[in-house]
Each structure stands twice: as structure tokens, then as C-alpha cells.
């Protein structure tokens, strides 16, 4: 505990010294980053939380004297750390920092993630309408920030689907993500989710098309084999195109020889082999 108190005292000393030693301000974000990294190695949850909050305060202090990208980066780091603390007071501080980032540095490369965080906070307090509105606005305002924009659309789609229970809007966001950011890491998840909606709505051909797009065009994705397995199941059980289902089992074995679904697919193949070569 003495070591922990010493670290907190150092944080306090840095904060006070900031007003007396302007040269220290330039290094304040680096110091906050070092202490934040150290906090990840501390097992005591209470102290780790307190330390992260102090580091967030240091980042915010640095942002007040910095400008441009440096100020924006510090506000984003402060917002992230406050959010990690996971209580209402800290979430409020995170919200304030993210809002300051978005409003005062809206052209910064860090602003899109600020909007992502604001949406996350709204979702956490069940302000679902405000959350999806923020995420969609993020994708509208920062379309070139592909990673954040695609993540925003994915989260909006998921919230529409799981919490707001609006499959039409969910599918709309997933489709926008797929068409706008087909190479993003979130495209396969959006396809998977849209396929599940199509399956639930008994649009089986559309579901299979989405699943096979993942399996055939995103073969290195960790969900590619699951997508193809789902396509085979729907083709056999719902569409009842047994010849095609058999052909898909053969294709599956070639593409995914180490899949966890392999034994189930082999059982499907043995059941469907009689349809091989049929019309």
C-alpha cells in the first residue's frame, strides 16, 4: 500500500507542478501514459480504478494546455480511462471529455472515436435512441474513418436488433456497412447478422447467399466455417435442395478441413450422398 500511496502522491505532485513548471506540461501525457500502463499490472481492483481516474485527470489537464491533435489525443485517452472505471461519476467524466473532443476538435483524427464512446455511454444507460443516433451520425460525418465508421454502423445495427427490436432498421445498418466497407473487419459480422435476420424472417435463399459470401470471399475469417455450416443446414432443412446441400458439404471439407464443424458436416455428407449427381 505504501507503493500505491507514493504513486498517487506523484500524480498529485505532477498536477500541482503543472501550474508552476510549464515545461512539464509537454511531458504530462507521456507520464500519464506510463502510469496508466503500470495500472494494468496492478491486481487490486480498487486501487487500479483510482489510479486510472487520476491518469484520466492528468490527460484532461494536459489537453487544457495543448492544442490540435495533442489536445484531442489527451481528451480521448482521458475519456477511455474514465470509461474503464465503470461507475456513473466516471462515465459522466468520460462523456464530458468525449463531448469536448467532438465539439472542440471535430476535424481531428480522434473525433470519430469520441463519438463512438458517446454512443457507448448512451447505450450503457439504456438511452438507445440517442446511442444509435450518435453512431449513425458518426458514420455520416466521418465516412473516411472506415474502422470507426463501420464499428458505429455495426453497433447501431446490433442495438436496433437486440434492444430496440427493430429488425428493419438493423438490416438497414448492416447493409450500409456491407456495401460501404466491404473490406472492413466488421463486414463479415454484419453479413452474419443480416443472414440470421433473413433466416428468422424465412428468407432462406437470401440467408444462404449472405452465409456463402462470408465462406467464399472471407475464408480466413474466424466465422467463415460457421457461416458455411449454417448455409448447409438451411439448404437441407428449409430449402430442401438436397443436391446443393451435398455439394456444399464437399466444398466445406475442402475449404475448412480443420473446422470444429467438420464431423457434423461429414454426417450431413453421408446422409446426402445419395443425391450426388441427381437433378
Superfamily of 185-279 according to CATH: Tetratricopeptide repeat domain (1.25.40.10)
Helices (H), 86-166: 88-104, 111-124, 128-141, 146-162
What is the pLDDT, as a whole number, of residue 253? 97
Q: How far is CA 218 from CA 198, 226, 249, in A?
A: 20, 12, 18
Cell of 121: 455511454
Domain range annotation of the chain: 185-279
| pLDDT, position 23 | 46
Q: In 3-state terms, the chain is what percent helix, strand and coil (to 5)?
A: 80, 0, 20
Q: What is the pLDDT of residue 39?
A: 87
Question: What is the DSSP secondary structure assignment for residue 273, as one 8-state letter?
Answer: G
Q: What is the pLDDT of residue 1?
A: 52
pTM: 0.86
Grid cell, residue 255, equals 475449404
Contacts with 95 (C-beta within 8 Å, 6 or more apart), sequence order: 79, 117, 118, 121
- Predicted confidence pLDDT, tens digits, the chain (279 residues): 555 555 555 554 444 444 444 444 557 888 888 888 988 898 999 999 999 999 999 999 999 999 999 999 999 999 999 999 889 999 999 999 999 999 999 999 999 999 999 999 999 999 999 999 999 999 999 999 999 999 999 999 999 999 999 999 999 999 999 999 999 999 999 999 999 999 999 999 999 999 999 999 998 899 999 999 999 999 999 999 999 999 999 999 999 999 999 999 999 999 999 988 765
Amino acid at each position: 500500500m505504501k507503493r500505491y500511496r507514493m504513486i498517487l502522491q506523484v500524480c498529485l505532485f505532477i498536477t500541482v507542478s503543472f501550474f508552476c513548471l510549464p515545461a512539464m506540461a509537454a511531458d504530462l501525457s507521456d507520464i500519464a501514459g506510463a502510469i496508466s500502463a503500470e495500472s494494468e499490472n496492478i491486481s487490486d481492483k480498487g486501487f487500479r480504478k483510482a489510479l486510472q481516474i487520476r491518469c484520466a485527470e492528468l490527460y484532461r489537464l494536459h489537453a487544457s494546455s495543448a492544442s490540435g491533435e495533442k489536445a484531442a489525443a489527451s481528451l480521448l485517452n482521458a475519456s477511455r480511462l474514465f470509461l474503464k472505471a465503470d461507475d456513473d461519476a466516471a462515465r459522466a467524466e468520460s462523456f464530458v471529455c468525449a463531448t469536448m473532443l467532438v465539439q472542440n476538435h471535430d476535424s481531428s483524427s480522434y473525433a470519430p472515436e469520441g463519438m463512438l464512446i458517446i454512443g457507448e455511454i448512451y447505450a450503457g444507460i439504456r438511452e438507445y435512441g440517442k446511442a444509435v443516433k450518435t453512431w449513425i451520425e458518426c458514420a455520416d460525418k466521418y465516412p473516411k474513418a472506415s474502422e470507426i465508421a463501420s464499428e458505429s454502423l455495426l453497433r447501431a445495427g446490433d442495438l436496433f436488433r437486440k434492444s430496440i427490436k427493430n429488425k428493419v432498421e438493423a438490416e438497414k445498418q448492416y447493409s450500409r456497412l456491407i456495401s460501404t466497407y466491404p473490406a472492413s473487419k466488421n463486414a463479415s459480422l454484419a453479413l452474419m447478422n443480416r443472414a440470421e435476420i433473413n433466416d428468422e424472417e424465412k428468407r432462406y435463399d437470401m440467408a444462404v447467399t449472405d452465409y456463402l459470401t462470408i465462406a467464399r470471399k472471407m475464408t480466413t475469417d474466424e466465422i467463415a466455417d460457421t457461416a458455411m455450416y449454417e448455409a448447409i443446414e438451411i439448404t437441407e432443412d428449409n430449402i430442401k435442395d438436397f443436391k446443393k446441400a451435398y455439394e456444399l458439404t464437399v466444398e466445406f471439407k475442402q475449404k475448412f478441413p480443420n473446422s470444429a464443424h467438420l464431423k457434423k458436416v461429414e454426417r450431413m455428407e453421408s446422409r446426402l450422398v445419395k443425391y450426388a449427381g441427381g437433378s
